[in-house]
Structure 1
C-alpha cells in the first residue's frame, strides 16, 4: 500500500517538474511510508520524509525513535540524528538540496524551524507546494482505506451507544467520557485483532471528550467535567478528534435529553438544526 502511494507521488512530482518533496506532516508521513508513533515536534525534534523522483527515499528521524522507524517505515534509507551532535537533522539536507531543482514542501504544516532552514538554503523561486498534490491523492480512497473508514464507523457507533447508555440523572459528565473511551478502545482492539496485521497499532481512543450538558450546552467545545447532569437536561456528545482508528479520523456528534425535555423550545431549535443538514 505504501509503495504504491510513494510511486504515485513520484509520478505526480515528475509531472509537475518537481525533483524532491520534503514531507513533515505526521499524517502525510504515515500515509506515504507507514511510520508512526514517533515524538516529532512535541520536544522540538523534526522528522522529515524526503522523496526524490530519481533517488532514494530517505527518512530523517530522531535516534530515540530509530527502532520504531526500522520496524514500520517503507523507505530506502533511515538517517537517525541526536540532539547536540553535529548538524542534527540538518546533516544530510545540504547535499540533497544542492542536487535538486524544484523542491516541494508543505508550507502550512512544516515546523517553523525546518521552514526557516529551507528558506535559507533554497531560492524562493525553486520552492513549490506539495500540499495540493497530496490532498488530491488522498481524496481518492483505496479499498484498504474504505475498509478502515468503515471500521472507524464501527468504533464510533460503539462509543456513541456507550455514551448514550451512560447518560442519566445524577451522573457526572466525566463518567460518560470514561464509558465512551472504554467502549471505543475495546471495539477497536477487537477489530485490530481480527482484521489487521499491524500488531503495534494502539486501539486506545484519546483526546478529551467534548461534551456539554444543561446550562453549558452552548459551549461548543466544552470538555467533560465534574458537573452532575439532571433529568430533563440536554446533553451534547461530540467525538471529533476522539474517534481515531488506525490513523483514520472520524468526526460526528449527537444531542440527547435525559428522560424528558423540560424546555420545549430546545426541541424546536434542535429540529431546525437537524433540518438544516438535510
Structure 2
C-alpha cells in the first residue's frame, strides 16, 4: 500500500501555507491519491464521494453506504461516514457538520473538478472569498512518482506492450477491427494477472487485471479520425492500422500512452513517409527530456520538425501520465512547467494529411540523466507489417 498518511501530511502543509482550515476534495483521482479509496460508482451515478482533510489531521471519507465496506478495507482514514440514496438529505448533513465547524475560517476545494451541487452547497455556508483552490497543489504532488508508483508505471508499460503484441498476432487483411481489440485486451489482461500474481499478492482482493474501455483504433478510410474506436470495419491490404492505448492500457489504476501505426499486409509508402516525420518529431521531443527542462521547450522541438516538413501541428507534444487519464503538466506551447526526475509522460509525434494521419507515442520516465522508456517497442517499419 502507498504511504497515504505522508501524502495527506503534505496536503496539510499546503493548507497551512494557504491559511486554510480544511480541504474538501471530490475528484476521484485525488481521493485515490490521498486515501487509496477507488472503484466506487461516483458522481456520474448521482453519488458523490467526498474526502475531507482538516489542517488538524482529521481525514474523513463521506461515501454511499453501499461503498462503506470497500472504503474501510481500502483506506486508513480517520473515519468513513456512510450515507444512503434519497434518505435524510444523503451526503449533506455530514458535510454540513464540517462546514459549520469551519464557517469562520478559509476552506479549500478542488475547484476545477468539484460538482456544481457540492460547490453551491458549500457556498451557502462559506463566502466565496474564503474558498481557495487546492487542486493545483495536489496536481504538483502527484506529478512526481515515488518508487512504488514507478514500479507500477513500468508494469503498466509492460501491459501496453503485450496488448500491442496481441493485436499484431491477429491483425491481417479481412480481419475485423473488433477482433484485433479482443486479442489486444486478452493479451493485456493475461499479462496484468501474471504481474499481480508475482508482485502484488498482498493487494489480491483489489487486484483487477481486466482491461476496460473501448480501444482507440482506425484503419482504411477512417484512419484520419484520431479517436475512432474499433468497429465492424475489416482491415484492408496495403492500408494502415492505427492503435492507440490511451485510456485503455491500465495497470492498478495507472494509465499509460502508447501508439503505433501498423501496415496491414504490406508497406504503404505514403504512410511510411509521413510516419518518418512523426517519429522524427517524437525523437526531437525526447531529446529535450531531462530534469530541469521546460515543458514548452519539449513542445518547441517537436513542433519545429512537423512544421519544417509542411504539416500542421496536430496536438501537444505530450502529457503527464499516472493515476488519471490526463494530468499535470502537459508538454505544450507556453508551459513553464519544469521537468523533474520521477515525472512520467506520454510523448508523441504526428503528421496528418487529408488522406492519412500518422502518430507514434510512448510513455517515459524522467531519470536523473534523461529518460527511460516505459513502453519499449520497435519503430522499424518492416517489423510493423502485420498479416503478411
Query: How high is the TM-score relative to the length of structure 2?
Result: 0.70
The alignment's C-alpha RMSD in Å is 1.2
Instruction: Answer whether contact 1:35 1:74 (CA < 8 A) is retained.
Output: no
Q: Distance in 1 between matches of 2:79 and 2:43?
A: 21
Runs of 4+ in structure 1 displaced over 4 angstroms? Answer: none
More strand by share: 2
* Secondary structure of residue in 2 paired with 1:115: helix
1:241 — aligned with what? 247
1:120 deviates by 2.1
Q: Distance in 2 between matches of 1:226 and 1:93?
A: 48
**Equivalent of 1:107, from 106, 111, 125?**
111
1:192 — aligned with what? 196
Residue 146 of structure 2 is aligned to residue 142 of structure 1:
yes
2:130 — aligned with what? 126
Instruction: Answer whether contact 1:62 1:81 (CA < 8 A) is retained.
Output: yes
Q: Distance in 2 between matches of 1:93 and 1:82?
A: 14
More helix by share: 1
Instruction: Tell me how many residue pairs correspond in the alignment.
Output: 277
Q: C-alpha deviations, 1:104-151, integer Å up to 9, x for none?
A: 111111122212211222101110101111011111211111111111
1:277 — aligned with what? 282
**Structure 2, unpaired ranges of 5+:** 284-388
Q: Distance in 1 between matches of 2:26 and 2:93?
A: 16
* Secondary structure of residue in 2 paired with 1:31: helix
Superposition pairs of residues 53-132 of structure 1, within 5 angstroms: 53-100=55-102, 101-132=105-136
Deviates more, 1:10-19 or 1:38-47: 10-19
* Secondary structure of residue in 1 paired with 2:91: helix
* Secondary structure of residue in 2 paired with 1:39: coil
1:55 deviates by 4.5
2:350 — aligned with what? none
Q: Distance in 1 between matches of 2:116 and 2:76?
A: 26
Instruction: Answer whether contact 2:12 2:57 (CA < 8 A) is retained.
Output: no
Q: C-alpha deviations, 1:176-208, integer Å up to 9, x for none?
A: 000111111111111111111211221111110
